[in-house]
Structure 1
Amino acid sequence: MTEKSTQDKSERKGALSRFTVIDASRVRAGPTAVRLFADMGARVIKLEIPPGAPGGDDMIGGRDHNRADYENLHRNKESLTLNMKSPEGLKILHELVRRADVFIENFRPDVKDRLGIGPEALRVINPRLVYASISGFGQDGPYAGWPGFDSIAQGMGGLMSVTGKPGEGPMRVGIPIADLCAGHFCAMGILAALLEREASGEGQWVQTSLLEAQIAMLDFQAAQWLIDKKVPVQSGNEHPLTVPTGVFATKDGYLNIAAIGQTMWTRLCEALEVPHLIEEPGMGSDPERVQNRDKVNAAIQPALSARTTAEWTERLLKAGVPCGPIHRVDQVFADPQVQHLGVAWPMHHAELGEVALVGQPMRLSRYPREQPPRAAPEQGADTSDILSELGYSAAQVAELRAAYVV
Structure 2
Amino acid sequence: MAVNINDALAGVMVLDFSQVGAGPTCGMLLGDLGADVIKIEPPAGDIGRKLGPPWQHGESVVSMSFNRNKRSIAIDLKKPQGPQLVRRMAARADVVLESFRPGVMDRLGLGYEALRLLNPRLVFCSVSAYGQTGPWRDKPGVDGIIQAVSGLMSNIGSEDSPPMKVLTPAADMTTGFLAMGAILAALRVRDATGAGQHLDVNLYNSAIMLQQSAVASYLSCGEKPARTGTAAPYSAPNEAYPTRDGWIMIAAYHEDRWKALCALLGDPALAGDERFATNAQRVANRKALMSELSRRLATHTSAEWQERMEAVDIICGPIADYDMLAASPQLAHNGVIVEMRTADAGVVRMPGAAFGDRDAQARVRRGPPAIGEHSVEILHAAGVPEDEIAALLASGAVVQKKDVQP
Same fold (TM > 0.5): yes
1:401 equivalent to 2:397? Answer no
1:106 equivalent to 2:80? Answer no
| Aligned with residue 291 of structure 1, among 284, 291, 296 | 284
Q: Which residue of 1 aligns with 2:307?
A: 314
RMSD: 2.1
| Aligned with residue 189 of structure 1, among 179, 182, 197 | 182
Q: Which residue of 1 aligns with 2:371?
A: 379
How far residue 226 of structure 1 moved from its aligned partner, in angstroms, is 1.6
1:175 partner amino acid: T
Whether the 8 Å CA contact 2:339–2:347 is kept in 1: the answer is yes
Deviations 1:177-212 (A, max 9, x none): 001101110000000000111211111111111100
Q: Equivalent residue of 2:196, what SS?
A: coil
Q: Equivalent residue of 1:85, what SS?
A: coil
1:400 partner amino acid: L
How far residue 317 of structure 1 moved from its aligned partner, in angstroms, is 1.2
Deviations 1:229-286 (A, max 9, x none): 2221211111111121111111111100111232221111111112121111311111
Whether the 8 Å CA contact 1:347–1:375 is kept in 2: the answer is yes
Unaligned runs of 5+ in 2: 1-5, 399-406
| Aligned with residue 23 of structure 2, among 15, 25, 30 | 30
Q: Equivalent residue of 1:80, what SS?
A: strand
In structure 1, what is the Cα distance between the partners aligned to 2:290 and 2:187? 50
How far residue 131 of structure 1 moved from its aligned partner, in angstroms, is 0.2
Whether the 8 Å CA contact 1:333–1:344 is kept in 2: the answer is no
TM-score (norm 2): 0.91
TM-score (norm 1): 0.91
1:57 equivalent to 2:76? Answer no
Whether the 8 Å CA contact 1:27–1:60 is kept in 2: the answer is no
Deviates more, 1:381-390 or 1:174-183: 381-390
Whether the 8 Å CA contact 1:261–1:285 is kept in 2: the answer is no
Q: Which residue of 1 aligns with 2:216?
A: 223
In structure 2, what is the Cα distance between the partners aligned to 1:136 and 1:397? 36
Whether the 8 Å CA contact 2:71–2:374 is kept in 1: the answer is yes
How far residue 60 of structure 1 moved from its aligned partner, in angstroms, is 4.6
For the structure 1 residues 301 and 58, does the alpha-carbon distance in structure 2 shift closer, same or farther, using more than 3 Å as the test?
A: closer
How far residue 396 of structure 1 moved from its aligned partner, in angstroms, is 2.5
1:359 equivalent to 2:347? Answer no
Q: Which residue of 2 aligns with 1:244?
A: 237
Whether the 8 Å CA contact 1:19–1:42 is kept in 2: the answer is yes
In structure 2, what is the Cα distance between the partners aligned to 1:231 and 1:163? 13
Deviations 1:141-195 (A, max 9, x none): 1111011200111011111111001132211111110011011100000000001
Whether the 8 Å CA contact 1:80–1:381 is kept in 2: the answer is yes
In structure 1, what is the Cα distance between the partners aligned to 2:217 and 2:47? 41
| Aligned with residue 388 of structure 1, among 380, 387, 392 | 380
Unaligned runs of 5+ in 1: 1-12
% identical equivalent positions: 36
| Aligned with residue 34 of structure 2, among 19, 36, 41 | 41
Q: Count matched residues.
A: 391
Q: Which residue of 2 aligns with 1:168?
A: 161
Q: Which residue of 1 aligns with 2:192?
A: 199
In structure 2, what is the Cα distance between the partners aligned to 1:33 and 1:399? 33
